[in-house]
Amino acid sequence: MLQFAAALTTDPRNGDRAAIDALRSAGLADPAIVALAQLVAFLSYQLRVVAGLRAMRASGTGDAP
Amino acid sequence: MIRRNGFTDETLEWRSWLEPLQLAEASPLQLEVLDESHPQSRTSPYYLTLAHQPLMLRHRSAAYNAIMYAPGGLPRAERELGAMVVSVTNGCVYCTSVHAQRFEQLAKRSDTVEQVFDDAASAGTSERERAIATFAIAVTQRPNALAGDDIAPLRAAGMSDEEIIDLLHAVAIFGWANRLMQNLGEPAGAD
């Protein structure tokens, strides 16, 4: 699970079927794999929004939050 | 039709590496969430895969549909440009094909699509499009190093703070979407 989460976070390109098979071999059913992928992928969205809002505030002009 | 560097604006299919939900086995909640997610979700392997976690799909679709389709704010073609540039940067061929098509439908032209497929970092037919593409790549590749200097070109190109926030959400959510598309399955040629 940790390998899958790390790879999903840092290397969005190179997912493969073997990574899914490894999760299944570790006992995860498909709904659990979907939950893990959603959780990790959502964080990629969330941290980018936070970083972008921080950059807007740092840019000074305008009235960023 | 545009085909360059492994990307295309043709319609592609997507094949799941998991077992997509069988509609006959779907719960009332799963059917409800599928129907609020996308008009064709009952026949989409992608949505049927995500429907294994209906409450997560509900939150994902509420965010996605608001960010990409809500009226007002950043013009929708520019949201699609951001989505397309991120998808190219992340190497998501399937996502790129979908959002290249949407850009073309909304903008009524494909010149920017050719430029993005050739070299996203220099793409854009105007200062504003170039600023959007550059920002989309920065958010994708180095979120932790984003700074005020990354915002300035957007403001210089005439974007309001509200438009920049809309763009940020559109670009950021493709960090999410590309990861699901590329790690739960793969693109396949159209039948």
Q: What is the pLDDT of residues B114-144, one digit of tens each?
A: 999 999 999 999 999 999 999 999 999 999 9
Contact with chain A for residue B157, Cβ under 8 A = no
Distance CA B89, CA B94 (A): 13
Chain B closest-CA separation from residue A18 CA (Å): 10
Query: ipTM of this model?
Result: 0.94
Task: Please indicate whether, in this complex, the C-beta atoms of B150 and A55 are within 8 angstroms of each other.
Answer: yes
The predicted pLDDT at position B191 comes to: 47
Count, residues in chain B: 191
Contact with chain B for residue A26, Cβ under 8 A = no
Give the one of A49, A58, A62 whose C-beta lies nearest to B161's C-beta.
Answer: A62
User: For residue B190, what pLDDT band results from cuts at 50, 70 and 90?
Assistant: low
Closest to B52 measured CA to CA, from A35, A16, A21, A41? A35
Secondary element (H or E) of residue B8: strand B7-8
Contact with chain A for residue B92, Cβ under 8 A = yes
Interface probe, candidates A17, A38, A40, A50, chain B, greatest B C-beta count within 10 A = A38
The predicted pLDDT at position A12 comes to: 80
Contact with chain A for residue B6, Cβ under 8 A = no
Distance CA B12, CA B185 (A): 13
Tell me: the pLDDT tens digits for B41-63? 999 999 999 999 999 999 999 99
Contact with chain A for residue B22, Cβ under 8 A = no
Distance CA B139, CA B97 (A): 21
Helices B161-183, B127-141: crossing angle, 10 deg rounding: 50
Rg (CA), chain B: 17
Chain B closest-CA separation from residue A47 CA (Å): 8
Please write down the HEC assignment for all residues of chain B. Answer: CCEECCEECCCCEEEECCCCCCHHHCCHHHHHHHHHHCCCHHHCHHHHHHCCCHHHHHHHHHHHHHHHHCCCCCCHHHHHHHHHHHHHHCCCHHHHHHHHHHHHHHHCCCHHHHHHHHHHHHCCCCHHHHHHHHHHHHHHHCHHHCCHHHHHHHHHCCCCHHHHHHHHHHHHHHHHHHHHHHHCEEEECCC
Closest to B17 measured CA to CA, from A4, A39, A6, A10? A4
**Nearest-CA residue of chain B relative to A15?**
B183
Contact with chain B for residue A44, Cβ under 8 A = yes
Task: Please indicate whether, in this complex, the C-beta atoms of B148 and A34 are within 8 angstroms of each other.
Answer: no
B16 beta partners = B185
CA angle B101, B6, B88 (to 5 degrees): 60
Lowest mean pLDDT of A3-12, B17-26, B137-146, name the range. Answer: A3-12
Tell me: the pLDDT tens digits for A31-59? 999 999 999 999 999 999 999 999 999 99
Secondary element (H or E) of residue B33: helix B28-37
